[in-house]
Amino acid sequence: MKAVIPAAGLGTRFLPMTKNTPKEMLPVVDKPAIQYVVEEAINSGIDDIIIITGRGKEVIENHFDVAYELEKILEERGEREKLEEIRRISELADIFYVRQKKALGLGHAIYKAKKLIGDEFFAVLLGDDIIVARKPCILQLKEVYEKYNATVIAVQEVEKENVSKYGIIEGEEVEEGVYKVKRLVEKPSLEEAPSNIAIMGRYILSPFIFECIERTKPGKNNEIQLTDALNLLLEKEDIYAIKFDGKRYDLGDKFDWLCINIEMALQREEFKEKLIDYLKKLLNYVG
Ligand code: G1P
């Protein structure tokens, strides 16, 4: 199975940082966000990866490329550990890049991968959503896909006041945590929302989605929405949703970015104690 990682968005919620730096390159401790997403795909057995980029996103390509000068210097200095880490990044996966020339929406971005995907089911991992989970989120979706042989999307319940930030599903629970989807609505108002079960940036999609995207008219924010294309797909094929086990962070959001940095740093032995100590002192001071 191949994976598509859309990473062409403008990141306007994270200005001024994203004026000249893609949001996907924001650091989470010491790695850019998109590396966590690529690693999630690899840890789920997917190593053919298509990243949808746009203007100003060249640093993403450079990050996964060989850094000849840097490698040479690290080699000369005998810094083996750093050298191996840097080399490992360029050997992670076969990555293909496709440019989305105009920011016309998530559906439009995914459509750019049509020729590279062909006629197979494929995974989609949004480049600014990081999911911290014991079992990689996209692997959890793959397992449901293998059972039902149909499109699967990742969902989680959200607070009512947040439904307008997400695609929301209406579904019927067919086994614990798995829903058969009846309808999807992109960023509805609280009154329009059929539930508080929200789509969370991970999908296994049927190749039929490409035909559906072709027929999708601009929707919310005048963009070609993947959620609207999924509604068309529902007319012919089934869609399942899985309430995955894990925590999702939206890297486009400043507060989420602060939280994930603290959480990931606390998971690292080298920072854990020092950070807890520091936070305790800081809270006493602030409090
Ligand atoms: C996209 C999808 C939306 C989904 C969200 C999850 O929206 O269109 O359905 O709930 O990702 O991150 P975006 O946040 O890119 O506007």
Q: Can you tell me the distance from the alpha carbon of 41 to that of 136, in angstroms, rounded to the nearest whole number?
A: 8
pLDDT, one tens digit per residue, over 66-125 is 999 999 999 999 999 999 999 999 998 889 999 999 889 999 999 999 999 999 999 999
261 located within any domain: no
pLDDT over 70 at 233, yes or no = yes
23 located within any domain: yes
Q: Which domain holds residue 16?
A: 2-252
Distances (CA, A) of 129 to 39, 118, 150, 195: 13, 25, 23, 22
282 located within any domain: no
109's tokens? 């971005």
Q: Which residue has the higher pLDDT, 103 or 41?
A: 41
11 located within any domain: yes
**Residues linked to residue 28 through DSSP beta bridges, in sequence order:** 31
pLDDT, one tens digit per residue, over 73-87 is 999 999 999 999 999
Residue found by looking up tokens 């399942």 in the block: 240
pLDDT of residue 287: 65
Q: Is 167 in the pocket of ligand 1 (CB under 6 A)?
A: yes
Tell me, in angstroms, the distance from the centre of ligand 1 to residue 31's CA: 23
What is the bridge-based pairing of β-strands 48-53 and 94-99? Answer: parallel
Residue found by looking up tokens 């993947």 in the block: 226
Q: Can you tell me the distance from the alpha carbon of 128 to that of 13, in angstroms, rounded to the nearest whole number?
A: 12
285 located within any domain: no
**Residues linked to residue 129 through DSSP beta bridges, in sequence order:** 250
287 located within any domain: no
Domain tally, the chain:
1
Give, for ligand 1, the residue of 156, 157, 199 to mutate: max count of ligand atoms closer than 8 Å to Cβ.
199
Q: Is 199 in the pocket of ligand 1 (CB under 6 A)?
A: yes
Does the CA dihedral 260-32-131-108 come out positive or negative?
positive
pLDDT of residue 37: 97
277 located within any domain: no
pLDDT, one tens digit per residue, over 3-14 is 999 999 888 899
CATH code for the domain of 216: 3.90.550.10
52 located within any domain: yes
| pTM for the structure as a whole | 0.94
